[in-house]
Every structure is written in C-alpha cells, then in structure tokens.
Amino acid sequence: MASEKVETVIAGNYVEMEREEGSSKSTESKFSNFLWHGGSVYDAWFSCASNQVAQVLLTLPYSFSQLGLLSGILFQLLYGLMGSWTAYLISVLYVEYRTRKEREKVDFRNHVIQWFEVLDGLLGKYWRNIGLLFNCTFLVFGSVIQLIACASNIYYINDNLDKRTWTYIFGACCATTVFVPSFHNYRIWSFLGLMMTSYTAWYMTIASLIHGQIEEVKHSGPTTMVLYFTGATNILYTFGGHAVTVEIMHAMWRPQKFKLIYLIATLYVLTSTLPSASAGYWAFGGLLLTHSNALSLLPKNGYRDTAVILMLIHQFITFGFACTPLYFVWEKFIRVHDTKSVLKRALARLPVVIPIWFLAIIFPFFGPINSTVGSLLVSFTVYIIPSLAHMITFSSASARENAVERPPPFLGGWVGLYCVNIFVMVWVFVVGFGFGGWASMLNFIRQIDSFGLFTKCYQCPPHKA
C-alpha cells in the first residue's frame, strides 16, 4: 500500500512535499495504477497541455479572422506568457498555504485543496468568497462550453438531429463523470486527450494547406472593433485554464514542479495552435467569420470524421476536468467529501450536472460564448485575482522574509515581481474585461437575436429548418 511522506519544511525554504508510491508485486495492481492513479509530473503536463488546447482549438481560426494574422499571433504569445505567469503565482500561493498548514500538522490525505481554500487560509473569508464565486461560475460555463462543443462537432458527422438534441444526448453521457473520484484518476485519459488534440490540430493545419485558398479569399481582419476584441478575449480564454490549477497541483506527488510543467505545456500548445489557426485563416480568410467551428469548412472525409470523433472524446474528458472541482465544492458543502463510497459521492454530485446541462441547451452558441466567458470570468479568475492575491499575501516585510518561494532572480526581486503583476492586472482589466467584455456581450446578444433561446432547431441546414 502506498505510504505517505511529508519531508521537513524549513521556514522560508520549501524542500518537498512528496508521496512515495509503494511497490506492488501484483500485475493487476500495477496495471490499475498505470491506468487509474496519477500524480507524476508527466500526468500534470498531459493535463495542462490537453486542457489548454481543447478549450478553443476549433475556434482559433475564427479568432484569427476577427483579429488578423499578425494580431492573432501576437495575442497568443502575449497571453501564453501571461497565463504561465499567473499559473506560477497560483502555484506559489498553493505551496505557501499548504506549507503553513502542514507546519500546523494538518493532514490532507483525504482532502483535496482548492483555490478558494488557499485564498481563505492566506487572506481570509472575504477573498475566499470572491474566489469561490468567480471560480465556480467560470467552471460552470467551462463545462457548458464542452457540452456545446460536443453537439457542434457531432453535427458535422450526422445532421439528422439538430444541435440542441445532440446537447441532450451528450449531457446524459457527460453526467457519467460523477463516478470519477478525483484528478488522480484521469492519468490515462489526460495522455489520450493530448494525443487527440494533437491529431486534430495537425489535421487542421495539413488539411487547410492541402485544401488551399478558397476563390477570392479575403484576409481583411480586423474590420470592426467588436470583432477585434471578441477575438482577443477568445485567445485570453485559450491560456486561462487555471480554474483547475490547484486541484491538479494537489494531485501531484511534487506540486512545487507545477510552474515549470505549465510553462512547458504552454510552449507545446503554441506549437499546435499557431500553425492550425494560421493555416485555417490563410485558406478560408473572412469566411471563418460565419463559421466559428473551423471543422465545418474542411472537406468531409475519414480524416475529418476521425478528428471530430477524437475531439468528442476529449471534450467528454475536459468536461470531467471542469466539473470535478465543482463536485468537490458541492461535496464539501453537503459534507460528503470525506466519504469513501464512490456511489454515494456520485449521487451527491448529480445536482451539479443538471444546471450545466440546462444552460448548454439554452445557449448553444459555440464561438461567442467562449469570448464572453473569457472577458467576464477568465479575466478575473485567472489573471486579476491571482496577481492581486499574491501582492497582498506578501505585502508585509515579514511575509516576504519568510516566504516559502521567493521571486526568480532574473526579475530583480520583489519589486520586479510587483511590476509584472501590476502590468498583468491593468492590461487584462482594460483590454480583456473592458473592451473585451463590451465586444463579447454585443456579439453574444446578436447571436440570441438571430437564433433565439429555445428555437426548435438551432443552425439547421435549410432543408431541415
């Protein structure tokens, strides 16, 4: 049986909180561990990379048509760096919180630490409530987006059913994630998810290049301020998967390595998304403005159908990633989080899935909802709150002196770190939340005006409307 070990934590110097995986002579046990139990740095890398790619891979060509090629590339690079930076901040705060608690002999073996608990432990209940509100709302709509994406994708293989009907079906399928206990149990699924998104990204790149440019292709983006900032917030969302950061860190045997893992995962994501988005925009140009899902413009064949099926599976996995922290919050609220009964926890989790399912049926707008969530929720959840929380946590001289992890030397100490935090907060508040929120809401309202909330058949072909 795996033993638990927490190494000595020296004040001001975090050594390691590490679990040793016990050896088992049973082949069945080893096979089960390989498929079911995660926690290594590789598992964290698979989780981060696949989660980032899956969020907006199919809508990035659409974003490039709104932004133009140059702005699209620059925003990806900028938000990739900013996303990695705030992931670093969250990891520092997690390690600080966990170290302080373990000095107080708190045992986390049967408890999953979450972001709102980190804020509570370091800054108090007011911050806990803010973090809980933004994080849970973001996770709810992140889960909604995965259901919408499932319906949008399967529609390109079988349009005998409309997208809302497919949402009913996939909502029932995704509800089975209530049986997955924690992020430890996503090991093999994270690895497979990364393979699936990699195939889809490179299929989109190669297929777009082989297809070539459509007749009279136009690369006129950006054409309006609304389109420009809508596209920018969609990319903000690409590198904003931090709502599950703490839970992934807690599932790691060596959580202090997370910040490097996230940076490497971001670099990998850029190698997948930049080519696919650029190639799609080169081939189809402004036509993408009316096709938020890039797969809809690629020729229907076995390769495209494979990409669709793989993304369906991966979106099911990503739904589980987004919902699991919500499951934990709800379990803690109704006080069943510590129970070892999988069935009892699964039944307790069902009330979390039902409203998500309902929202996906109301708002099946694949592209516009990404931008709206990015501007109104990701801006605060992922960028502004972590930056501000880090600055306040280490605002006193004693907190900086006893910090478990100090700023990297190349930043020039705490002053340099604060300068970066201030830049991130101001940029995201003005560009992401301000201009992005204005543009995304206008775009989203136009979708509702065009298609309605409960129309019988959303975006059906003419012969089926």
Spatial contact of 325 and 139, defined as CB atoms under 8 Å apart: yes
CA distance 90 to 58: 28
Amino acid found at 95: V
Q: List C-alpha distances in Å: 397 to 58, 89, 99, 204, 344.
A: 47, 18, 19, 52, 47
Spatial contact of 245 and 86, defined as CB atoms under 8 Å apart: no
pLDDT confidence of residue 302: 92
pLDDT confidence of residue 455: 60
Spatial contact of 187 and 380, defined as CB atoms under 8 Å apart: no
pLDDT confidence of residue 453: 65
Residue-wise pLDDT tens for the chain (465 aa)?
Answer: 334 334 334 333 334 444 444 444 455 455 455 444 444 544 555 566 666 666 578 889 999 999 999 999 999 999 999 999 999 999 999 999 999 998 888 888 778 889 999 999 999 999 999 999 999 999 898 888 888 888 878 888 888 887 788 888 888 888 888 988 776 666 677 778 788 888 999 999 999 999 999 998 999 888 899 999 999 998 998 887 766 778 778 777 777 778 888 888 888 889 989 999 999 999 999 999 888 888 889 998 999 999 999 888 888 888 888 888 899 999 999 988 888 888 899 999 999 999 998 888 887 666 677 788 889 999 999 999 999 999 999 999 999 999 999 998 888 899 999 999 999 999 999 999 999 999 988 888 887 776 666 665 555 554 443
Three-state SS for the chain is CCECCECCCECCECCCECCECCCCCCHHHHHHHHHHCCCCHHHHHHHHHHHHHHHHHHHHHHHHHHHCHHHHHHHHHHHHHHHHHHHHHHHHHHHHHHHHHHHCCCCCCCCCCCHHHHHHHHHCHHHHHHHHHHHHHHHHHHHHHHHHHHHHHHCCCCCCCCHHHHHHHHHHHHHHHHHCCCHHHHHHHHHHHHHHHHHHHHHHHHHHHHHCCCCCCCCCCCCCHHHHHHHHHHHHHHCCCHHHHHHHHHCCCCHHHHHHHHHHHHHHHHHHHHHHHHHHHHHHHHHHHHCCCHHHHCCCCHHHHHHHHHHHHHHHHHHHHHHHHHHHHHHHHHCCCCCCCHHHHHHHHHHHHHHHHHHHHHCCCHHHHHHHHHHHHHHHHHHHHHHHHHHHHCCCHHHHHCCCCCCCHHHCCHHHHHHHHHHHHHHHHHHHHHHHHHHHHHHHHHHHHHHCCCCCCCCCCHHHC
CA 108 to chain centre: 25
Output b/e per residue, 201-223; b: 16+ Cβ within 10 A: bbbbbebbeeeeeeeeeeeebbe
pLDDT confidence of residue 444: 80
Q: Determine whether 124 is exposed, middle or buried from the number of CB atoms within 10 Å of its CB (0-12, 13-18, 19+).
A: exposed
Beta bridge partners of 3: 20
Spatial contact of 40 and 252, defined as CB atoms under 8 Å apart: yes
Q: For residue 126, how many other CB atoms are within 10 A of its CB?
A: 10
pLDDT confidence of residue 116: 92
CA distance 306 to 303: 5
CA distance 241 to 269: 12
